[in-house]
Structure 1
Amino acid sequence: MSTHDFRALHERLRRETARSTADGRRGALRHVTPERVVAAAAEVRLGHTVSLAAPIETVPGADDPEPAVHRMTGPAPDELGADGLHFATDRFAMNVHGDTNSHLDALCHVVFDGELYGAVPAGDGAGALSVDLVEDGIVGRGVLLDIPRLRGVPWLQPGDHVTADELTAAEAAQGVRVGPGDMLFVRVGHRLRRTELGPWNAATRRAGLHPTTMGFLAERKVAVLGGDGNNDTAPSAVEGIAFPVHALAVQALGIHLLDYLQFEDLVPVCAQAGRWSFLCAVAPLRLPGATGSPVNPTAVL
């Protein structure tokens, strides 16, 4: 995709979103209405809950040079065998926007041409568009589209793109349709490949969505986009724009992204139930002014 075509697509999506947005601060979450949350509750039929997050990595790897740090801070050595009451305690630190751990991107995470979503100056973003916007969580209908399943392969190869036509074809093959206010989850098989073949430098090569798929999300009024990779392909499909999907989804459309989820536990449950939609709850940490948060989305079928 040429830089010219990318910028034309970005401007079109930005303008269309601006015309239809009454509450610019909430972005695409405006599509998650109370009525749609109530309707999403009807997706629960089995009472089965499934985590969409991967275990947090604490060991350096090819795709995770700065892993999370977990340190048990208590009990003290002299308390281990002592009588009385003592507590085990912990301390964590994390590079939220790395290439391994599951996380949410806030609307202040992506700056393009000096602006954030809604033409907010980049310098004003921490207060206006931070993760505070989702402090009450996001609850609604989730839809999983499994692209390797569509292609008949275990995973997409690093560098491969998911197209808009494939999203439509996956809907037809799985008997589901993405609608307004939905959380769209697109599986490329990143996690399965990593498990089977080991970590690699995902910053340089990974499967993801082609930038033109953002037109599909805009048309369907998708509220949240989640993937088992970074959502963006590497190398980028657009010369000079390293993360075009992030720029289009977050900065132009106001869609919160969920990166590096894992769907390997969800896929067999959906396949056995014959349903690829479910109630989904996303609960970021309450981190005032933050550009993102570790997250553990939960599907309820």
Structure 2
Amino acid sequence: MTTSQRWKNRPDGSNWGDFGPDDQVGRLNLLTPEKVRQGVAEVREGLAFCLSLPLDYPGGNILNPRRHPPALRPTVRNGRPNMNYRLGDDDPDVTDVICDDLVILHTQYSTQWDSLAHVGQLFDADGDGKPEALYYNGFRPDEHVRGPSDPKDAGGANIAEARSTSEAQALGIEKMAETCVQGRGVLIDLHARVGRERVAVGYDLLMSIMEADGVEVESGDMVCLHTGFGQLLLEMGRKPDPASMSNACAVLNGRDGRLLNWITDSGLAALIADNYAVEAHPAVNHSGCCASLPLHEHCLFKLGIHLGELWLLTPLADWLRSRKRHRFLLTAPPLRLPGAVGSPATPVATV
């Protein structure tokens, strides 16, 4: 696969081809050995923070009706559930007791990464005047990102009868996992400035918060936005309130062009938040032909910036703020699941 085979024109403001014609990891190319060393240099106390929610949070399917909590079940052994299974049955000389299970998992239900195959756009890349569906770096549906056409082959209800599978043969989450996703994390504490108020954060507000807290973002940093949303979900105990969820905590304003330009110019390698979609969803002032998720378009489609969502950042944010710090070592690979367009994550921050 080469650039000339996939596109003649690239979207305005994109970096298609800058990391090579067949690049599939985008700005994670900036996680160089030097960035890993910078992250390691932030480890002073040897304390680690788990940045994942329990994967059965938020609970129910209020945030997204298509995504459901994980279903955990034992495997079957000799026709019986393989949980607390005695291998020897009544043989007193065999003392082993075995548990073994499986999970049916919606990959983007809880703490997650979006792969670069998660969101694409219509764009006229071959110059024939007709926009076609594309993903980052010109990869195409059906050819590179495949899925079933029959709804019977999709959705959890029909999983046993599904005849075909979805598969991102390019841009799958395993490409992200292979980079190891380790380097310097930088936390921007929006919650400390606006509390749990629903605020659409644009460029001006973001810059004022960063300046007040002395936060600097350099090329290759992984940026984490603390809004308090993940902590709010924990407090609701797997019973999220729809009204509270739709009006709680800060979100980025994906319609703010200067904010998008800052994301481009900063050189950040990944963008992460503890809220549902990083940006306001639905987007601010959505109308006409504009992308319904403009920040997703800018990051996933144009720049190859992976997005992390629904992380748990409050304990880390509180610890950093109490010590006037904002940098740490972040280790956050997704599952190495070939073909998946998203993945749960168990990120670790080490300070």
TM-score by length of 1: 0.85
Amino acid across the alignment from 1:178: V
Amino acid across the alignment from 1:127: Q
CA contact (8 A) 1:150 1:173 kept: no
Runs of at least 5 residues in structure 2 that lack an aligned partner in the other structure:
1-9, 76-81, 123-132, 146-167
SS at match of 2:334: coil
Residue in 2 aligned with 1:283?
333
CA contact (8 A) 1:112 1:247 kept: yes
Q: Give the Å deviation of 1:216.
A: 1.4
Q: Give the Å deviation of 1:25.
A: 2.3
Which deviates more from structure 2 when the two are superposed, residues 42-51 or residues 127-136?
127-136
Q: Give the Å deviation of 1:78.
A: 6.1
Go from structure 1 to structure 2 and tell me whether the alpha carbon gap of 1:19 and 1:287 turns closer, same or farther (over 3 Å shift).
closer
CA deviation profile, 1:210-247 (whole Å, cap 9, x unmatched): 11322211111111111111112123123253322111
Q: 1: CA distance between counterparts of 2:247 and 2:12?
A: 29
Residue in 2 aligned with 1:89?
100
Go from structure 1 to structure 2 and tell me whether the alpha carbon gap of 1:89 and 1:120 turns closer, same or farther (over 3 Å shift).
same
CA contact (8 A) 2:136 2:300 kept: yes
Q: 1: CA distance between counterparts of 2:84 and 2:191?
A: 49
Residue in 1 aligned with 2:322?
272
Q: State whether structure 2 residue 304 is matched by structure 1 residue 254.
A: yes
Q: Give the Å deviation of 1:178.
A: 0.7
Q: 1: CA distance between counterparts of 2:310 and 2:319?
A: 20
Q: Which has the larger radius of gyration?
A: 2
Which protein is richer in helix relative to its size?
1
Q: Structure 2 matches for 1:158-237, cutoff 5 A?
A: 160-196=199-235, 199-201=240-242, 207-211=250-254, 212=256, 213-229=259-275, 230-237=277-284
Residue in 1 aligned with 2:292?
242
Residue in 2 aligned with 1:142?
185
CA deviation profile, 1:32-90 (whole Å, cap 9, x unmatched): 11222122210111101001111111752533652111124432566799750122222
Go from structure 1 to structure 2 and tell me whether the alpha carbon gap of 1:156 and 1:215 turns closer, same or farther (over 3 Å shift).
farther
Amino acid across the alignment from 1:45: R
SS at match of 2:330: strand
Amino acid across the alignment from 2:175: L
CA contact (8 A) 1:96 1:294 kept: yes
Of the three residues 126, 136, 139, the one matched with 1:117 is 136
Runs of at least 5 residues in structure 1 that lack an aligned partner in the other structure:
1-9
Identity %: 27
SS at match of 1:265: helix
SS at match of 1:13: coil
SS at match of 1:278: strand
Amino acid across the alignment from 1:174: D
CA deviation profile, 1:229-270 (whole Å, cap 9, x unmatched): 111212312325332211111011100111111112211211
Residue in 2 aligned with 1:4?
none
Q: 1: CA distance between counterparts of 2:322 and 2:89?
A: 48
SS at match of 2:13: helix
Residue in 1 aligned with 2:114?
105
Q: Structure 2 matches for 1:8-23, cutoff 5 A?
A: 11-14=11-14, 17-18=15-16, 20-22=18-20
Q: Give the Å deviation of 1:11.
A: 4.2
Amino acid across the alignment from 1:221: G
How many residue pairs align between the two structures? 284
Q: 1: CA distance between counterparts of 2:278 and 2:63?
A: 15
CA deviation profile, 1:146-189 (whole Å, cap 9, x unmatched): 112123x2x232xx311122222222222220110011111222
CA contact (8 A) 1:156 1:190 kept: no
